Amino acid sequence: MFEIVSKRELAPNIVEMKVYAPRVASSALPGQFVIVRTDRTGERIPLTICDYDTDKGTVTIVTQAVGHSSRKIIDMAEGDTFADFAGPLGCPSDLLDLPEEELKKKRILFVAGGVGTAPVYPQVKWLKEHGVDADVVIGAKTKDLFTYVDEMKTVGNVYLCTDDGSEGFHGMVTGLMKDLIDNRGKEYDHCVIIGPMIMMKFAALTTKEYGIPTVVSLNALMVDGTGMCGACRVTVDGQTRFTCVEGPEFDGHKVDFDEAMRRQNMYRDHKKTHPETHNCKCNG
């Protein structure tokens, strides 16, 4: 069984948990995810790995309450155990494949929104450990919804923005991105964007304007984590790809975001209408 060794609230309805899963912790890499089930009849929930500690054997996950199954997760307490905690799954960040000398020459920008800040953290942390200082834009509707800001400041150069101007740059992440490049002399040759689908769409359009190669994480599309249910299908450069097994990261300038958002909303509406029956057929 996989025990929750610590739990803390990061923001309203957003909870961080450290779970004892030594085999997962020993193999995890930035960009990968796990599949969790609260109990034997629970739905399979894919969650991005937000951190891992090989010495303590723990894996950190962050969950936002958006439906029946995510609410069951955040209602769990320290000492409770998950029935399943499978992983690591998915492909690691492509930055891990670069030779060290090439990696150190990169000028990397991360753009995070909402709970997307948590999965950005292990990538920025890994880069810091390999001698690369990355810039990180973190956006939220209001300052009360920021997560992982203090942790991120220990590993990257953080720039905050809020829709209501309560902290940092007054505006959305796209406005801050343009401000950094146009007014603060920043230059980037690689960008990673993780957050709400609509945010990733417009942030990717912004980097396209500047000719910055961009990667986005489509973990929000995943359901069963194996590709068998088909919910994670996405069109990239005109071809059908499966987020669970070929992602979760893809070229942000080639993703059909409009199609992806239609599919995402279709499943969200079903969960709201039938929360008790939303179980992928692959669950067994």
Burial 17-30 (b: 16+ CB within 10 A, else e): bbbbbbebbeebbb
Q: Which two tokens stand for residue 64?
A: 């936002």
Phi-psi region of 265 (alpha: psi -120 to 50; beta: other; left: phi over 0): alpha
Report residues of the chain scoring pLDDT below 70.
221-231, 244, 264-284
Q: Which two tokens stand for residue 7?
A: 């739990």
Confidence at residue 13, expressed as pLDDT on a 0 to 100 scale: 86
Same CATH fold assignment for domains 2-89 and 94-217? no
What's the predicted TM-score (pTM) here?
A: 0.85
Confidence at residue 276, expressed as pLDDT on a 0 to 100 scale: 45
Name the CATH architecture for the domain at 94-217. Answer: 3-Layer(aba) Sandwich (3.40)
Q: Which two tokens stand for residue 85?
A: 């905690």
Confidence at residue 228, expressed as pLDDT on a 0 to 100 scale: 62
- What are the residue boundaries of the structural domains of the chain, listed by start? 2-89, 94-217
Is the CATH number of domain 2-89 2.40.30.10?
Answer: yes
Confidence at residue 221, expressed as pLDDT on a 0 to 100 scale: 65
The Cα 169–Cα 161 span in angstroms is: 4
Confidence at residue 134, expressed as pLDDT on a 0 to 100 scale: 96
Sign of the C-alpha dihedral computed for residues 93, 72, 257 and 87 taken in this order: positive
Calculate helix-pair angle for 173-182, 197-210, nearest 10 degrees: 20
